[in-house]
Amino acid sequence: MDFLLQIPEFITWLFGYIIPFLVVLTVIVFVHEMGHYLVARWNGVAIQTFSIGFGPEIFGWNDRLGTRWRVSAIPLGGYVRFVGDMNAASMPDKYAGADLPPEERAKLFVFKPVWARIAVVAAGPAANVLFTFLVLYALLFGYGRYMIEPVIEEVLPGSIAAEAGLLDGDTVTSVDGYPVRGFGDFQKLIATSPERPVTIVVERPEGPREFTLVPEAAETTDRFGNVHRVGRIGVSRGVTLEDYVLYRPGPLEAVGMTFEEISFIIQRTGEFLGDFFVGRGDVEQLGGPVKVAQVSGEVATLGVLALINLAALLSLNIGIFNLLPIPMLDGGHLMYYAYEAVTGRPLSQRVQEMGFRVGVALVATLMVFTLFNDIF
């Protein structure tokens, strides 16, 4: 009887969190791996496997070129495995192709010119960035953006903004060089800069004025009860529905605005990661699969467009993460190939194997830490 009572809860959990999470993750993984796959094909690389997920195969098929397309049991990633790789991380097999004729050896990734290998590896993160651009552009150009005037209604007495010299009625035009088209842009740029200097440009009747200040770190709770660490400077603005105006950029302006958004995300992500190296990072903001599943489920309640937007933003972050210079990740491979391009010779097999082991240990440690952080 108790089991029957738990069925509705299980269905809610399945359709509310797990399925949106798997949909988002599968799209991101497919985009990333398809980038590797297409550029590898263009460079004549023989591809053994294209897998969504890890572990045992659930189902799959072989294409006419001999590649095995498969969906695997553990849906937490994926890989493209080239002929001649020792494993799914594309660690080269030093014995691969030893007995093959020259025309077959030329199809192995390990024997391709270094610039071709760099292009194949970089294509995964590049595909993530391109996917993010296309989605954000389509949403912006197709639906526009609701905005309110970027006018500061009240500067709180004794606040950071008041001490810096901001005044009631100031119209904000930019923050850290990013154009401010609406008050939401201003809030976002300040909120993502806790305890980091920001430069604010405002327009006054006598002309533009520039101020540099450091937002204080504060905690805020979103509509789903999640706590976030954000920047605050002590300004406010009252808003009514009548204040919102739908802004529809033209096709070229939408391109520029999309580039601005992607540049902003990359910069803030880099600053977020950099904070951990100086002891200023907030470990509670790190999340793993549990947190992504939670966020995916919460965003799914806001509608399909919100979930698509989340997939685009996560795709960009996955692309950035994969470029970190950690062996096993794309950035680690690129680091090896950059050394080879500069020196004219590859790193020794022994050094590469040691690097891959260190990379596996680092990534595994990060996964365990983020999973622990998610749960507790």
Helix ranges, 69-219 (H)? 102-105, 114-143, 160-164, 183-191
Length of the chain counted residue by residue:
376
Terminal-to-terminal C-alpha distance of the chain: 30
**Cα 116 to the center of its chain, rounded Å:** 25
| Distance in angstroms (rounded) separating the CA atoms of residues 183 and 187 | 6
Helix 289-300 × helix 349-375 angle, to 10°: 50
Burial 66-81 (b: 16+ CB within 10 A, else e): ebeebebeebbbbbbb
Specify the amino acid at residue 247.
Y
**Cα 111 to the center of its chain, rounded Å:** 31
Burial of 59 (0-12, 13-18, 19+ CB in 10 A): exposed
User: Given the structure tokens 């595909």, which residue do they identify?
Assistant: 127
| Distance in angstroms (rounded) separating the CA atoms of residues 135 and 245 | 22
Active site residues: 33
| Distance in angstroms (rounded) separating the CA atoms of residues 374 and 38 | 35
Beta-bridged to residue 208, according to DSSP, are 203
Q: What are phi and psi of 64, to 5 degrees?
A: -70, -15
| Distance in angstroms (rounded) separating the CA atoms of residues 103 and 80 | 22
| Distance in angstroms (rounded) separating the CA atoms of residues 51 and 49 | 6
Torsion of the alpha carbons at 8, 9, 11 and 15, rounded to the nearest 10? 140
